Amino acid sequence: MDEYEELFGIQDDFEEQFADELEVLAQMEEESSKLEKRRGPGDNISDIEHLLDDQPPTTPKAKRHKQDTGVAKRLFNASQLQERKVPSQNDDITPPSSPENYEPSNTFRSTPAVLDISGFAAIPETPRRPPTAAPASLRVLKRPPLEGEYISVTDSSGSRVYLRQKEDTGTKVVDSRMVPNSLGGLGLLAVPIGVLREQEAEKRHQQVVEESQRLTELLTSSVNDVLVEPESEENEDPEDAEGRASRLWVDRFSPRHYTELLSDDFTNRCLLKWLKLWDTVVFGRERKSRPARSDRPAANQNSFKPNQGNQNQNRFKTKVEITEEILEAELDQYKRPKFKVALLSGPPGLGKTTLAHVIAKHAGYNVVEINASDDRSAEVFQKRIDTATQMKSVLGANERPNCLIIDEIDGAPSAAINILLAVLNRKDGHGGEAATETAKKKKKKESILLRPIICICNDLYVPALRPLRQQAFLLNFPQTQPSRLTQRLAEISQRQGLKADTGTLMSLCEKTDNDIRSCINTLQFLHGRGLKHLDNKTIQCVSVGQKDQNKGLFHLWQEIFQLPRIKRKRIGEGFEETPGSGGGAQRFQHILHLALSSGEYEKVSQGLYDNYLSMRVRDPNLHSVCEALDWLSFSDRVNQEILHGQNFSLMRYLPFLSVTFHFLFAHTHVPRINYPHSQHEASTRLLSSRNALSTMLADIPAGIRTRISQLSLTLDILTLLLDIICPKLRPVNPQLFSTREKEQMHELIDTMLAYNLSYRQDRTPEGQYTYVLEPRVEEVVRFTGLPPRRQLTYQAKQTISREMEQEKMRRAEQLMLQRNPAVKEKDKQEEKKIAGPKPARNHQQRLENIVKQTTVETRPEVDFFGRAVAPKPQRPQPSSDTGEKSAVLAMGTAVGNSDVWFRFNEGMSNAVRRNVYIRELL
Amino acid sequence: MSLWVDKYRPTSLGKLDFHKEQAAQLKNLVQCGDFPHLLVYGPSGAGKKTRIMCLLRELYGAGVEKLRIEHQSIVAPSKKKIEINTIASNYHLEVNPSDAGNQDRVVIQELIKTVAQSQQIQSSTQREFKVVLLTEVDRLTKDAQHALRRTMEKYMATCRLILYSTSTSKVIGPIRSRCLAIRVPLPSTEEVCSVLTSVCKKEGLLLPPELAKQISEKSGRNLRKALLMCEACRVQQYPFSVDQDVPETDWEVYLRETANAIVSLQTPQRLMEVRGRLYELLTHCIPPEIIMKGLVKELLSNCDGHLKTEVSHMAAYYEHRLQLGNKAIFHLEAFVAKFMAIYKKFMEDGLDAMMF
């Protein structure tokens, strides 16, 4: 905590500055030591080999060997201790059987792995080779052969091999004779011939190496660095330099400490603070607190909240002054911060990932990263989250707790995000259970999330992230401050020997939208091309730094409709300097580039179309308007061709529309651009009117349906039809209509039914009732701005509506009758059945008498009126019998057979009862 | 069936009011027994459908008028389900394949084939072929039309096609050559008048001949429209008066106003207003071709004789582009802008000539 507070003290800036310088120094030191290392072996190779050559290849002795190691030690003096150890160790373990064994030790000195391998590959060769009589077939050697002519060959990776020349037997003899001479040290020459040869070969080799160095230099043009240059003069492996050059500056100069971060201080601080909130749970009393915590909720479940809350609040109140209110929120029952996840968002290249890594390291965590390159399917994701948050490395020195960083989370499938959420919310279900069952809780205890998770995304508003947004501590990255970025760029370029003034770097920042990564990459690219001095013009001309920026449609439209300002000297938006003087081509290129990178041609052209007429066009003859529209219709045709014929190669012609519009309509004024809604609105309205028409058509009877189509409906019929169904009606009760009027009314209703129109009562927002025509075809044919058509009054519509209902009912009944005539009969029966029992009470006495008289054969059991329900199968019979009602006997059987019965008593009103429906009275 | 259009529609070939020669020819065609595929075309409101229904009645008798609507669903090879409504009697089937949009080929292939493949059971009592009536053939896609070619030949024994469209220009040649093309022209003004008068007589109304003439002119000899207008007049005012104003369709009025707006002022702002009006027309389901046609008609009547050729040339040019393209509004507006430019130049030249 203390060191953390220190960080935010005043010395923050100091620190930073010093840190930078220190870093520079450290790096310089490091490099020089490296240099030393490299130089050591490079120089010594030849010497060692000379010495080794002197050795008798036939019988290596222990003494000899010791001497050699001594020499080697002396020679290696310059190099570091560690490296010196390695060869000696090697020697101890396996005493070399031949001088060839020094090869591996040699290779150890040079870092790249390629040589390593080649060196080892040579080892198995050695025992097979009898040193004196080397087989003639073995022509490719790792070392210059002791005897015979050879040619040294250096391959592209810098490793050197020697090709033995085929020689006469005579010379071979001479050579073999000479060898013992040199062996004994009795040579005639001051320097043994082998050594001379070696020197010669070495010289040649050096030349070749230098040559190749120069070539690689030309090719990669990367080794013009001040620091690298001396290395290349030395016998440096070209590979090494290459390896160094291929390392991206972005990685090399990425901040390693909190103080080196370029991103906004406030953001950094917030994130760090949030991360520090975890300290209680992760570090605070790591081993001790956990069991205590597990006890606490069980022990004082009731009084737990206030206690803990007070404590926490007191503890954190000290920092409240500085922190954001989110950060001051109290810890939950597990002493975790309220938000378990931090979600960083912002455009690419601002250093979000770097920030997360640096801060996590700074706070003492071991970073575990999951990014888009990993498999993020649900199961794997779950597993990885669990591994990262629940476990911890046991082996190794890495004993720090994990901090999970989920990078590029906006690309993750929503299933994965749901899993993450489930992990976050685990404690909820768990907390409830914890109160009741401690045993169960212990089992589950490990599944609570106790490690911080940092998520990073570019687009915060991806639908999949929606649930996460509510539960995460959101941190939006603001733009990097150009001044800070420029400063850093200046440092980098200075260190790399690239001269660049602040203005140039500023314009670079501006061009890349303060994208740190893009800036540094551009610098490296320019540097890699051999540029020593960076000026404004190169920055302007280079198109590398420009990524396919997604600037947004409004920006594009604005660029198209606005002439670039003359006074704008710095490049910023592109290449335009002075639009008046020959800037046309540049403007062309600029707009083309913008249009190309936006890609949404459809939307772009729609926006152009919607806005071009409201521009200040000095166009009295409408020529440019005509031309613009010609272009629009051309691009529409191209589009159609593309979509229809799947001919996507035509796509390349689409962005030129924007260029044309720029040259036709660009103006110095700032344009007011509206988002193009018109097309969308039009299509929705078209769809709704189509739907209204098709609902209308759907229920029109077939006889008429066959005569009309949607087209004829809109063009000819509907308007007039709506006129026709608005006749003049007298505002009186329809009963009082004259026959003529009644006929008219009838026709009207007929028409409306035939064309599937009806009035529906509706309530306006003001509370008034109106009748609206259904389906709503009125809107389809009526135009605003035309004189309104005559409308029927509310009463008239009401009347019509009522009449229509009746007519519909009548028709339905008729239809039903037509379809099955029995229904009506049945209906009557039903009615009677309902009506039957009631009057039956009145006549119960008499009926019983009659039934007794007739002695029903079919039904011996009497007194059914008490039960009133007759068996089903006998129901159809009575319908035929009801006709005759005169004879008592017949009546008796009828009564016996049916459950319905009535007798008409003249003059009495209570004799017959039946249900009467309103519709029968209408 | 209470609109006059529906009520007084002739149901047999003998009762047709105009083009009686053609009706007689059709009757002969039916009687001679060798009935070909037909392609009936002509402007809307000329009585194509009436004629076809009369023909069907002549072929099969009154049973053909018992119509029913059937909802059919066809599964396309792409597993997409297509819902389509057909109107059918026992003897014929009426389909509008263009209801299925881009999938109309499937409708042709599946629906028509199934109908065409089934044989009539009792060929002694009725005709040995069924009739499939395809409406709006000009809106069929090329694919669908090509799919139709083979079907037309292959199932000749069991099925006849009657194609029905407003123009043949979008019907591919092979199909045209397989059909007997029958053009149904618009009735003349007199014929429209006589029909109107007879209908009014049947209704027990008295239609003054001047009004009849006026109606027939306003309707553009479209008989359906004429009858509807007449009925609307009747609703508006009865007894008829000679100088009664005849109700028009709204879109025509709107289009005329648009044309007037174009002629009265030529600026980008006005063009913007016109665009709004064009959108309005399009969203009211008025096809762009018809808007174009209407505009040209109105504009030509408004502009000078010297400009007429150029304007009509431009109209043809932009209409062609409109047919090729997708977004009608671009092409319509392009035409309007072009007209504005031409017209403005002409007017300014005229002014200059007057001044000097």
A752-778: pLDDT as tens digits:
888 888 888 888 888 888 888 888 888
Any A CB within 8 A of B48 CB: no
Which among A237, A206, A196 has a CA at the least distance from the CA of A50?
Answer: A196
Return the pLDDT at A908.
62
Give residue B290's pLDDT band: very low, low, confident or very high (50, 70, 90): very high
Task: Name the more confident of A790 and A24.
Answer: A790
pLDDT greater than 90 at residue B292: yes
A580-621: pLDDT as tens digits:
434 678 888 888 888 888 778 888 889 999 888 888 767 778
Which residue in A610, A674, A707, A724 has the most chain B C-beta atoms within 10 A of its own C-beta, making it the best mutation to test that interface? A724
Complex-level ipTM: 0.90
Per-residue pLDDT, averaged over A679-689, amounts to 91
**Worst-scoring range by mean pLDDT, A737-741, A903-907, B40-44?**
A903-907
Distance from CA of A762 to the nearest CA of B (A): 24
Return the pLDDT at A723.
85
pLDDT greater than 80 at residue B270: yes
Task: Name the more confident of A826 and A172.
Answer: A826
Q: Mean of the per-residue pLDDT values for chain A?
A: 68
Distance from CA of A623 to the nearest CA of B (A): 7
Return the pLDDT at A907.
66
Contacts of A782 in chain B (CB under 8 A): 250
Contacts of A786 in chain B (CB under 8 A): 250, 253-254, 257
Residue ranges of E strands in chain B: 38-41, 68-75, 81-88, 92-95, 130-135, 159-165, 180-183
Q: What percent of chain A has pLDDT over 70?
A: 56
pLDDT greater than 80 at residue B84: yes
Per-residue pLDDT, averaged over A300-323, amounts to 40
Contacts of A748 in chain B (CB under 8 A): 2
Return the pLDDT at B330.
93
Whether the Cβ atoms of residue A539 and residue A502 lie closer than 8 Å to each other: no
pLDDT greater than 80 at residue B289: yes
Q: Do A750 and B1 touch (CB under 8 A)?
A: yes
Per-residue pLDDT, averaged over A435-463, amounts to 65
Which residue in B68, B141, B249, B318 has the most chain A C-beta atoms within 10 A of its own C-beta, making it the best mutation to test that interface? B249
Return the pLDDT at B300.
92
Which among A225, A262, A254, A257 has a CA at the least distance from the CA of A486?
Answer: A262
pLDDT greater than 80 at residue A813: yes
The secondary structure element, H or E, covering residue A403 is strand A402-406
Per-residue pLDDT, averaged over A378-405, amounts to 76
Give residue A847's pLDDT band: very low, low, confident or very high (50, 70, 90): low
A493-513: pLDDT as tens digits:
888 888 878 888 888 887 777
Return the pLDDT at B339.
93
pLDDT greater than 60 at residue A729: yes
pLDDT greater than 90 at residue A190: no
A154-189: pLDDT as tens digits:
777 777 777 777 655 544 444 444 444 444 445 566
Q: In this structure, what are the phi and psi dihedrals at residue A150, rounded to the nearest 5 degrees?
A: -150, 165
Return the pLDDT at B41.
94
Q: What percent of chain A has pLDDT over 90?
A: 2
Return the pLDDT at A531.
72
In sequence order, the 6+-apart residues with CB closer than 8 A to the CB of B83 are: B71, B72, B73
Does the pTM surpass 0.80? The reply is: no
Q: Do A714 and B224 touch (CB under 8 A)?
A: no
Give residue A388's pLDDT band: very low, low, confident or very high (50, 70, 90): confident
Q: Do B337 and A751 touch (CB under 8 A)?
A: no
Give residue A55's pLDDT band: very low, low, confident or very high (50, 70, 90): very low
Q: What percent of chain B has pLDDT over 70?
A: 98
Provide the total of helices (H) and of strands (E) in chain A, helices listed first: 44, 12
Per-residue pLDDT, averaged over A519-545, amounts to 74
Q: CA nearest B225 in A: which residue? A: A716
In total, chain A counts a number of residues equal to 922
Calpha distance A406→A723 (Å, rounded): 68
Contacts of B222 in chain A (CB under 8 A): 716
Distance from CA of B5 to the nearest CA of A (A): 10
Contacts of B135 in chain A (CB under 8 A): 709
Return the pLDDT at A292.
35
Give residue A286's pLDDT band: very low, low, confident or very high (50, 70, 90): very low
Query: What DSSP string describes B137-198?
Result: GGGS-HHHHHHHHHHHHHTTTTEEEEEEES-STTS-HHHHHHSEEEE-PPPPHHHHHHHHHH
B333-343: pLDDT as tens digits:
999 999 999 99
In sequence order, the 6+-apart residues with CB closer than 8 A to the CB of B351 are: none
Q: Mean of the per-residue pLDDT values for chain B?
A: 88
Calpha distance B168→B182 (Å, rounded): 11
Which residue in B99, B186, B235 has the most chain A C-beta atoms within 10 A of its own C-beta, making it the best mutation to test that interface? B235
The secondary structure element, H or E, covering residue A660 is helix A656-665
Q: Do A709 and B345 touch (CB under 8 A)?
A: no
Per-residue pLDDT, averaged over A883-902, amounts to 52
Which burial class, exposed, middle or buried, applies to A738 when counting CB atoms under 10 A from its CB (0-12, 13-18, 19+)? exposed
Instruction: State both tokens at B119.
Output: 């044989």
Domains and CATH numbers, chain A: 250-285+319-426+449-476 (3.40.50.300), 480-547 (1.10.8.60), 549-566+580-675 (1.20.272), 681-821 (no CATH)
Residue B279 has its nearest CB partner, among A682, A690, A748, at: A682
Task: Name the more confident of A236 and A849.
Answer: A849
Per-residue pLDDT, averaged over A731-752, amounts to 84
pLDDT greater than 70 at residue A320: no
Calpha distance A805→A758 (Å, rounded): 9
Give residue A781's pLDDT band: very low, low, confident or very high (50, 70, 90): confident
Return the pLDDT at B185.
93
Q: Do A636 and B326 touch (CB under 8 A)?
A: yes
Any A CB within 8 A of B231 CB: yes
pLDDT greater than 50 at residue A87: no
Return the pLDDT at A437.
40
pLDDT greater than 80 at residue A866: no
Q: Do A626 and B325 touch (CB under 8 A)?
A: no
Return the pLDDT at A168.
53
Highest mean pLDDT, choosing among A57-61, A829-833, B57-61: B57-61
Exposure b/e, A394-411, CB count within 10 A at least 16 = b: eeeeeebbbbbbbbbbbe
pLDDT greater than 80 at residue B64: yes
Give residue A27's pLDDT band: very low, low, confident or very high (50, 70, 90): low
Q: In this structure, what are the phi and psi dihedrals at residue A47, rounded to the nearest 5 degrees?
A: -60, -45
Give residue A551's pLDDT band: very low, low, confident or very high (50, 70, 90): low
Return the pLDDT at A829.
58
Contacts of A711 in chain B (CB under 8 A): 44, 136, 285, 287
Residue B67 has its nearest CB partner, among A702, A724, A748, at: A702
Return the pLDDT at A598.
79
A223-276: pLDDT as tens digits:
444 333 343 334 444 444 455 556 778 788 888 878 778 877 888 888 888 888
Contacts of B68 in chain A (CB under 8 A): 702
Q: Do A786 and B275 touch (CB under 8 A)?
A: no
Highest mean pLDDT, choosing among A546-560, A780-794, B53-67: B53-67
Distance from CA of B251 to the nearest CA of A (A): 7
Give residue A747's pLDDT band: very low, low, confident or very high (50, 70, 90): confident
A897-911: pLDDT as tens digits:
555 556 666 666 665
Return the pLDDT at A571.
43
Per-residue pLDDT, averaged over A705-713, amounts to 85
In sequence order, the 6+-apart residues with CB closer than 8 A to the CB of B131 are: B56, B59, B91, B92, B93, B159, B160, B161, B162
Residue B67 has its nearest CB partner, among A643, A703, A709, at: A703
pLDDT greater than 60 at residue B125: yes
Q: If contacts are CB pairs under 8 Å, which of residues 177-216 in chain B contact chain A?
A: none
Per-residue pLDDT, averaged over B133-157, amounts to 87
Per-residue pLDDT, averaged over B234-261, amounts to 87
Which among A391, A420, A392 has a CA at the least distance from the CA of A406?
Answer: A420
Given the DSSP bridges, would you call strands A769-774 and A499-500 parallel, antiparallel or unpaired?
unpaired
Whether the Cβ atoms of residue A148 and residue A164 lie closer than 8 Å to each other: yes
Contacts of B69 in chain A (CB under 8 A): 702, 705
Distance from CA of B130 to the nearest CA of A (A): 18
Return the pLDDT at A894.
53
